[in-house]
């Protein structure tokens, strides 16, 4: 994917580099990584430690924006350390580096589902080629910037949010998510199997090479047909349509009424491919009052502009609640704007949509 690029210029101040902690049991790798990052003025290495326990202690006591975390280490491995780092009040981002875990593998997808921002295959120590360095810096440079994370709404915003009336039609459901969104999507869809009632569209911030496995896991979890969106593909009720990793999922209604997929690569406010906003905006144009948008866990505000479009078209929105979200940025922005008809955990969202569909049937 090509998500939001680092642009860490504060609204009224100078550009600030990203504070990075390197966690790897190899002293050679730590030195190489520190040298690579030191040569790029977007990053500042604030520490380099050799174990998960040291990383947890460091993040607790030092300013850190981004943690580069080795997957295989003595003691706690990367998957054990990951949730403890993400639980930090500093809201760090974590990129897992692995010499044995293939990008796009089930373990890598599990790490993303737990809240990792990315998983990058790491060469062995001493084999850091120029191509790998360029690839790594590109991936790191496309993460959500710290100022955006710092604007994550707090719990009080959920408690005081004004809710809109529930929608009276369900002609299509669109689900958008980012960090922590994968597990939320799986839970939501387990309670949402409408048969052939309406199409479901999903935009999850994921690198392109994860999309086939993500689609396969969706099918296993729901037993529903799942397709990765392609240009011109007819939209079918009862099918889950997943945005590809290199384009936005958009829609068009043809002259005879058939709805087909359109892929867009236009830059949008959030700079990510795929982004949630274009999907929601397309649903608003095509389905109007029958468009139901769901915004799940994720950093930033992707989905907010699209939520406005759905509401203006007469459709309705549901936001994931604060307690069940890994990051309440995306759902929180929709809730704070007064666009949500409900703020619920994923397991209850599917039930609500089906109840509204049955009531209108």
Using a 10 angstrom Cβ sphere, with 0-12 exposed, 13-18 middle and 19 or more buried, the burial of residue 130 is exposed
pLDDT for residue 149 is more than 50: no
CA angle 189–218–237, rounded 5-degree value: 65
Tokens (6 digits) for 56 = 């947890």
pLDDT for residue 356 is more than 90: yes
Query: Are residues 241 and 355 located together in one domain of the fold?
Result: yes
Please state the domain count of the chain: 2
pLDDT interval class at 96 (50, 70, 90) = very high
- Over residues 287-313, the pLDDT tens digits come to 999 999 999 998 888 999 999 999 999
Mean per-residue pLDDT, 42-53: 95
Query: Are residues 325 and 236 located together in one domain of the fold?
Result: yes
Select from 120, 150, 180 the last residue of a domain. 150
Q: In this predicted model, which residue has the larger pLDDT, 109 or 355?
A: 355
Query: Are residues 110 and 233 located together in one domain of the fold?
Result: no
Give the pLDDT of residue 318: 98
Query: Are residues 243 and 353 located together in one domain of the fold?
Result: yes
Give the pLDDT of residue 7: 35
40 labelled catalytic: no
Whether residue 8 lies inside any domain: the answer is no
Residues 6+ apart with CB under 8 A from 15: 8, 9
Give the pLDDT of residue 141: 77
Select from 150, 172, 203 the last residue of a domain. 150
Select from 111, 126, 150 the last residue of a domain. 150
Q: Among 138-142, 166-170, 208-212, where is mean pLDDT lowest?
A: 138-142
Query: Are residues 137 and 167 located together in one domain of the fold?
Result: no
pLDDT interval class at 215 (50, 70, 90) = very high
Is 283 within 8 Å of 314 (Cβ atoms)?
no
Helix axes 78-86, 52-61, angle to 10 degrees: 10
pLDDT for residue 25 is more than 80: yes
Give the pLDDT of residue 108: 85
302 labelled catalytic: yes
pLDDT interval class at 269 (50, 70, 90) = low
Total Cβ atoms within 10 A of residue 27? 11
Q: In this predicted model, which residue has the larger pLDDT, 153 or 328?
A: 328
Whether residue 2 lies inside any domain: the answer is no
CA angle 164–166–170, rounded 5-degree value: 135
Domain interval for residue 141 = 18-150
Average pLDDT, rounded, for the chain:
87
Whether residue 6 lies inside any domain: the answer is no
Query: Are residues 185 and 305 located together in one domain of the fold?
Result: yes
Alpha carbon of 83 to those of 45, 88, 152, 263, 276: distances in Å? 22, 9, 19, 34, 25
* Among 19, 98, 118, 205, the one annotated catalytic: 205
Give the pLDDT of residue 161: 76
* Among 50, 178, 325, 341, the one annotated catalytic: 178
Query: Are residues 125 and 260 located together in one domain of the fold?
Result: no
Query: Are residues 198 and 134 located together in one domain of the fold?
Result: no
**CATH number of the structural domain spanning residue 226:** 3.40.50.180
Mean per-residue pLDDT, 165-190: 93
308 labelled catalytic: no
Whether residue 267 lies inside any domain: the answer is yes
Whether residue 80 lies inside any domain: the answer is yes
Is 37 within 8 Å of 20 (Cβ atoms)?
yes
Give the pLDDT of residue 11: 40
**CATH number of the structural domain spanning residue 99:** 3.40.50.2300
Mean per-residue pLDDT, 245-263: 95
Mean per-residue pLDDT, 72-78: 91
* Among 50, 302, 308, 333, the one annotated catalytic: 302
Whether residue 279 lies inside any domain: the answer is yes
Query: Are residues 189 and 333 located together in one domain of the fold?
Result: yes
Q: In this predicted model, which residue has the larger pLDDT, 111 or 331?
A: 331
Query: Are residues 312 and 193 located together in one domain of the fold?
Result: yes
pLDDT interval class at 9 (50, 70, 90) = very low
Query: Are residues 101 and 181 located together in one domain of the fold?
Result: no
Give the pLDDT of residue 2: 34
- Single pTM value for the model: 0.78
- Over residues 123-138, the pLDDT tens digits come to 876 678 888 899 888 8
Is 260 within 8 Å of 232 (Cβ atoms)?
yes
Whether residue 1 lies inside any domain: the answer is no
pLDDT for residue 13 is more than 50: no
Query: Are residues 111 and 178 located together in one domain of the fold?
Result: no
pLDDT for residue 55 is more than 70: yes
Whether residue 11 lies inside any domain: the answer is no
Helices assigned H by DSSP within the chain: 27-38, 52-61, 78-86, 106-114, 130-140, 146-150, 155-160, 181-190, 211-222, 276-287, 304-312, 329-336, 346-360
């Amino acid at each position: 994917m090509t998500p939001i690029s680092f642009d860490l210029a504060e609204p009224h101040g100078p550009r600030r580099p990203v504070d990075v902690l390197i966690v790897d049991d190899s002293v050679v790798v730590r030195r190489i990584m520190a040298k690579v990052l030191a040569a790029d003025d977007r990053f500042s290495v604030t520490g380099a430690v050799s174990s998960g326990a040291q990383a947890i202690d460091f993040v607790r006591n030092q300013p850190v924006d981004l943690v580069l975390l080795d997957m295989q280490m003595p003691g706690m491995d990367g998957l054990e350390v990951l949730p403890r780092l993400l639980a930090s009040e500093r809201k760090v981002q974590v990129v897992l580096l692995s010499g044995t875990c293939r990008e796009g593998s089930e373990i890598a997808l599990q790490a993303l589902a737990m809240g990792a921002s990315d998983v990058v295959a790491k060469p062995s120590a001493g084999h850091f080629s120029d191509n790998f360095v360029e690839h790594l810096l590109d991936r790191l440079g496309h993460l959500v910037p710290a100022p955006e994370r710092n604007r994550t709404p707090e719990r009080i915003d959920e408690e005081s949010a004004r809710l809109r009336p529930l929608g009276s039609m369900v002609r299509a459901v669109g689900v958008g998510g980012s960090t922590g969104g994968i597990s939320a999507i799986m839970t939501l869809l387990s309670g949402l199997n409408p048969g052939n009632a309406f199409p479901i569209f999903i935009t999850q911030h994921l690198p392109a090479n994860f999309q086939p496995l993500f689609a396969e896991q969706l099918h296993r979890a729901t037993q529903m047909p799942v397709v990765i969106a392609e240009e011109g593909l007819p939209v079918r009720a009862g099918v889950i349509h997943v945005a590809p990793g290199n384009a936005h999922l958009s829609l068009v209604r043809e002259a005879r009424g058939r709805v087909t997929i359109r892929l867009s690569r236009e830059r949008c406010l959030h700079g990510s491919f795929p982004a949630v906003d274009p999907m929601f905006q397309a649903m608003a144009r095509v389905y109007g009052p029958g468009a139901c948008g769901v915004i799940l866990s994720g950093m930033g505000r992707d989905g907010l502009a699209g939520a406005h479009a759905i509401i203006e078209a007469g459709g309705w929105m549901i936001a994931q609640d604060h307690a069940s979200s890994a990051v309440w940025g995306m759902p929180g922005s929709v809730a704070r704007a007064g666009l949500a008809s409900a703020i619920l955990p994923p397991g209850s969202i599917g039930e609500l949509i089906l109840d509204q569909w049955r009531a209108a049937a």
